[in-house]
Amino acid sequence: MENHNFSSLYAAKLPINSLYSLNKSTIELAKPIIKEIGTIPAAALTKLENVNLSLGAAMNKSLKSGFTSEMKTLNKDRKSDISVIKSVTSSYLKSNDPLKKADASAMHLFLEPYWGVDSFAQDVQTGIVSEMLIKYNARPELLAAAQRLGIDTLFTSLGVKNDAFDIKFKSRNTEYAERETSASDIKPDAVTVYIQFCTCIEQACNLTPNDTLIALFHKMDELRKVYHGLEGGKDTPATPESK
């Protein structure tokens, strides 16, 4: 008697979208004949369909928050303010006006520890800019110097944009935290149930075979051979689990 064993496929190595497609195609092959494949394989198929629906729903959720676009604009604008503040300060260091040069020197000395702030990660940048502005606003001589150099309004603008960015950043984090289970969280269950269904079909073909089961087995095996070439997708780590 022929022993039916599926071709090797490391389902856990498949990218999420490939796993979803594999499950979907497998379900489409088996569902029309669910009454003919046996009680246990039918139960496994129903379980596979349910978990794959959950996986698909999670995949369809946009990973891009509505706050992201606003954050990009705010971050670009605050970087622009920082850039102009540095540029104006640097230009007045060469001024022939002793007062402006003195103001620029004082401002440059103050800005020096924060000179590369616009190159930091966005959330880190927010904290550093906040610290800088607190110190700036606490020093009347710097406020006066900024006014004489014509950059006081840029410091005000930077503060507004930095605060707005911080609010958007925290709102986006809250949004992410409140989202339902992600596709990556569901993937292990989808892999496990797919393996269970394949095992059920193998056992049914070996213990209670019929033409319908054998035909399904061969169709599923051809599908596995196709997806075998997609193993090791970059969105998931490789694991030894297979079936």
List average pLDDT for each run of 10 residues in the chain, which is 243 residues long: 87 91 95 94 96 87 69 94 97 94 97 92 90 97 97 97 93 69 86 97 94 96 89 46 39
Cβ 190 vs Cβ 19: under 8 Å: yes
Crossing angle, helix 140-149 and helix 98-111, to 10 degrees?
120
As given in the structure block, the two tokens for residue 9 are 């496929």
As given in the structure block, the two tokens for residue 181 are 């289970």
Q: How confident is the model at residue 159, as a pLDDT?
A: 96
Q: How confident is the model at residue 178, as a pLDDT?
A: 58
| Cα 211 from chain centre | 46
Q: How confident is the model at residue 126, as a pLDDT?
A: 93
**Distance from C-alpha of 118 to C-alpha of 126, rounded to nearest angstrom:** 9
Cβ 169 vs Cβ 127: under 8 Å: no
As given in the structure block, the two tokens for residue 159 are 């503060």
Tell me which residue has tokens 């891009």.
Answer: 64
**Distance from C-alpha of 227 to C-alpha of 243, rounded to nearest angstrom:** 12
Which residue ranges make up each domain of the chain? 11-61+181-228, 66-178
CB count within 10 Å of CB 193 equals 21
Number of H helices and E strands in the chain, helices first, is: 9, 0
**Distance from C-alpha of 45 to C-alpha of 37, rounded to nearest angstrom:** 10
pTM of the model: 0.52
